[in-house]
Amino acid sequence: MLLGGWRENYPGGEDKEALRDAFSIRDKLHKDMGITPKNVISFVTNGELDRPRPDILPGTWQPAAGAYSKQLFRQRLEEYCAKPSCTDLLLIYLKNVATPEGTMLLWDMDGDSEANSEEYLTLHEFIQAVKTCGAREVVILADQNGGAQFYRRLRFNLRHGKSADLKKFTVVTAEPAPAMRRTRRSFQAPQMHTRAFKPGSLLTQKFLNLTIDPTDLHQFRRKLTDNLSEFLIFDGTDKSNDTVKRFSRGAVRPWVKSSRSAQAGHRTRFLPWLRARRKI
């Protein structure tokens, strides 16, 4: 789990709602999916959450590292990805404040309101760390703003990357699916929080309501894609995600009539319009 943010976005130093969502996810992984606490690694804001917090989440508590330690996060991620025989399912939960380009802000440790290279995680850095993962199944829940850019960049790199096994990846973003964009009234969009968008929590709540069988990984991915269909999802097992065949120059395209008369008629209709445009 990577729960970052920015000091000036959280006036009180933290966002209790975001923390509650993140640690509810951790409890669900432990209780419903049978994942031991030692296998749930948390990177949270400034790293000062080393004591029980009943105001956020009552019950068991596990210390969390700081989200500002980007190198430690990538190191632990690559460590899990390098063990194909020991990792069946790698679930990455992201809840950060992101820029329009998809860069995730981790934490402003020095308080200068400027993000240096250690205080943010770019999409390129994240993709490089996960695309060579040796786990059997990789599921990414990105409950943060900038979901559309995150989806496009990750989908492009996974489809065209030489070392990525496309079928093992499932990516769920907080961005509404194309079918839901016309009915945004029923979709909870991220709200403004001081100077940046506050990550929405609808995706997290939907995930917490799922009943998951930890013994069937394929059933887990199928439940995600079926029950979270209102979100923008990349499913590596979907055949429509296969690399699109490129047509060479002069090849017959299925959507173009090959007869010369049809092509001549198209030119006859098109040329007067082009001449008129040039005169304008």
Q: CB–CB of 143/232 below 8 Å? A: no
pLDDT of residue 85: 63
pLDDT tens digit sequence for 140-183? 998 888 888 888 888 887 777 655 677 888 899 888 887 665 55
Decide if pLDDT at 116 tops 70.
yes
- The per-residue pLDDT for 205 is 86
In this structure, of 9-18, 59-68, 131-140, 242-251, the range with the lowest mean pLDDT score is 242-251
Look at residue 22 and tell me if it is in a domain.
yes
Q: Which one, of 79, 172, 71, lies nearest residue 130 by Cα?
A: 79
The gap between the terminal CA atoms of the chain, to the nearest Å, is 57
> What is the number of structural domains in the chain?
1
φ, ψ for residue 235, nearest 5 deg: -115, 115
Q: Would you say residue 274 lies in a domain?
A: no
- pLDDT tens digits, 257-274: 444 444 444 444 555 555
The enclosing domain of 130 has a CATH number of 3.40.50
Q: What are the start-end ranges of the E strands in 69-168?
A: 89-94, 97-98, 104-105, 120-121, 137-142
What pLDDT shows up at residue 6? 65
The confidence score (pLDDT) of residue 182 equals 54
Buried b (16+ CB within 10 A) or exposed e, 128-160: ebbbebbbebbbbbbbbbbbebbbbbbbebbee
Instruction: Say what the pLDDT of residue 161 is.
Output: 64
Domain range spanning residue 172?
2-241
Tell me how far apart the alpha carbons of residues 233 and 207 are, in angstroms, rounded to a whole number: 13
Q: Does the global pTM surpass 0.75?
A: no
What's residue 35's pLDDT? 79
Strand boundaries in 117-178, DSSP class E: 120-121, 137-142, 169-176
CA distance 144 to 272: 50
Q: Confirm whether 229 is domain-assigned.
A: yes
pLDDT of the residue at 248 = 37
266 domain residue, yes or no:
no
Strand partners, 275: none
pLDDT tens-digit map of 60-108:
555 566 666 778 788 878 777 776 666 788 888 888 888 888 888 887 7
165 assigned to some structural domain: yes
Question: How much is the pLDDT for 56?
Answer: 60
- CA angle, corner 228, sides to 137 and 194, nearest 5? 105
Better-predicted residue by pLDDT, 154 or 247: 154
Say if 262 falls within a structural domain: no
| CB neighbourhood size of 174 (10 A) | 27
Res. 124: pLDDT tops 60: yes
Evaluate if residue 135 carries a pLDDT over 70: yes
What pLDDT shows up at residue 119? 79
Residue-wise pLDDT for 216-236, tens only, equals 766 788 888 888 888 888 888
The vertex-91 CA angle with 85 and 96, nearest 5°, equals 145
Residue 246: per-residue pLDDT: 36
What are the Cα distances from residue 182, in Å, to 178, 189, 209?
8, 13, 25
- At 249 the pLDDT is 40
Residue type, 243: T
- Report, as an integer, the average pLDDT of 127-137: 82
- What's residue 193's pLDDT? 36
Q: What stretch of H or E contains 218?
A: helix 217-227
Domain membership of residue 170 (yes or no) is yes
Mean pLDDT (the chain) is 69
| Inside any domain, residue 256 | no
Percent of the chain with pLDDT over 90: 0
